[in-house]
Structure 1
Amino acid sequence: MSIDLTEDTITKEVQSTFDGCHDPRTRELFVELVRHLHDFARETRLTGDEWFTAMDFLERVGKITTLTRQEFVLLSDILGLSVLVDLINEHHGPHTTDSTLLGPFYVEGRPEAPNGADISGGVPGTPLFFTGRVLGPDGGPLSGVRVDTWHSDGEGHYDVQQEERLHGRPAMRALLTTDDDGRFWYRSIAPRFYPVPVDGPCGEIMRAAGRSAMRPEHLHFRLHADGYRPLITMLFRRDDPYLDQDAVFAVKRSLVVDFVHREPGTAPDGTEVGEPFQTVDWTFTLTPAGPERRP
Structure 2
Amino acid sequence: MNTELVAGADREQAVTDEVLASFDGTTDPRLREVMQSLVRHLHAFARDIRLTEREWEAAIDFLTRAGHITDDKRQEFILLSDVLGLSMLAVAINEPAVPGATEATVFGPFFVDGAPEIPLGGDLARGAAGTPCYVSGQVRSADGSPLAGVRLDVWGADEDGFYDVQYPGDGFAGRGWLRTAPDGTYRFWTVLPTPYPIPHDGPVGDLLSAAGRGPMRPAHLHFKAAAPGHGPLITHIFVAGDPYLASDAVFGVKDSLIVEAEHHTGGAAPDGTRPQGVWTSMTFDLVLVSDDVS
Counting only pairs closer than 5 Å after superposition, residues 245-256 of structure 1 correspond to structure 2 as: 245-256=247-258
**Pick aligned residue for 1:263 from 262, 265, 284:** 265
For residues 110 and 63 of structure 1, what CA distance do their matches in structure 2 show? Answer: 26
State the SS of the aligned residue for 2:72: coil
- The percent identity for this pair of structures is 48
Distance in structure 2 (CA, Å) of the matches to 1:46 and 1:221: 41
**For 2:154, what is the secondary structure of its paired residue?**
strand
Instruction: Map residues 163-242 of structure 1 onto 2, 5 A cutoff.
Output: 164=168, 167-242=169-244
Which of 106, 119, 135 is the equivalent residue of 1:114?
A: 119
Q: CA deviation at 1:113?
A: 1.3
Verify the 8 A CA contact 2:266 2:275 in the aligned structure 1. yes
Give 1:109 deviation, angstroms: 2.3
1:156 is matched with 161
Paired amino acid for 1:51 = W
Indicate whether 1:29 and 2:31 are aligned. no
Whole-angstrom CA distance in 1 between matches of 2:67 and 2:276? 47
Whole-angstrom CA distance in 1 between matches of 2:50 and 2:39: 16
Query: Quick check: 239-248 or 21-30, which moved more?
Result: 21-30
CA distance in 1, matches of 2:233, 2:97: 10
Distance in 1 (alpha carbons) for counterparts of 2:26 and 2:292: 27
Describe the shift of the 1:50–1:257 C-alpha distance in structure 2 as closer, same or farther (beyond 3 A): same
Q: Provide the rounded CA distance (Å) in 1 between the counterparts of 2:63 and 2:179.
A: 39
Whole-Å separation in 2 of the counterparts to 1:117 and 1:142: 19
Partner of 2:280: 278
Which deviates the most, 235-244 or 12-21? Answer: 12-21
Partner of 1:87: 92
Alignment of 1:46 with 2:48, yes or no, is: no
CA deviation map 1:1-60 (0-9, x unaligned): xxxx92121111101111122221111100000011111111111111111110010011
- d(CA) in 2 for partners of 1:107, 1:70: 12
1:116-145 superposed Cα distances (whole Å, 9 cap, x missing partner): 111112123211111121001121110011
Q: Is the 8 A contact 1:11 1:38 kept in 2?
A: yes
Q: For 2:35 and 2:129, how far apart are their aligned partners in 1?
A: 49
Question: Mind listing any 5+ residue stretches in structure 2 that lack a counterpart?
Answer: 1-9
**1:210-257 deviation per Cα after TM superposition (whole angstroms, max 9, x unaligned):** 101110000100100010011110011111011000000010011111
SS in 2 for 1:8: helix
- Offset, 1:291: 6.9
Give secondary structure in 2 for the equivalent of 1:274. Answer: coil
Name stretches of at least 5 consecutive residues in structure 1 with no aligned partner: none
Structure 1-normalised TM-score? 0.94
Aligned length: 285
For the aligned residue pairs, the C-alpha RMSD in angstroms reads: 1.2
Match of 2:61 among 56, 62, 65: 56
8 Å CA contact retained: 2:96, 2:293:
no
Q: TM-score, with normalisation over the residues of structure 2?
A: 0.94
Q: 2: distance between equivalents of 1:118 and 1:48?
A: 54
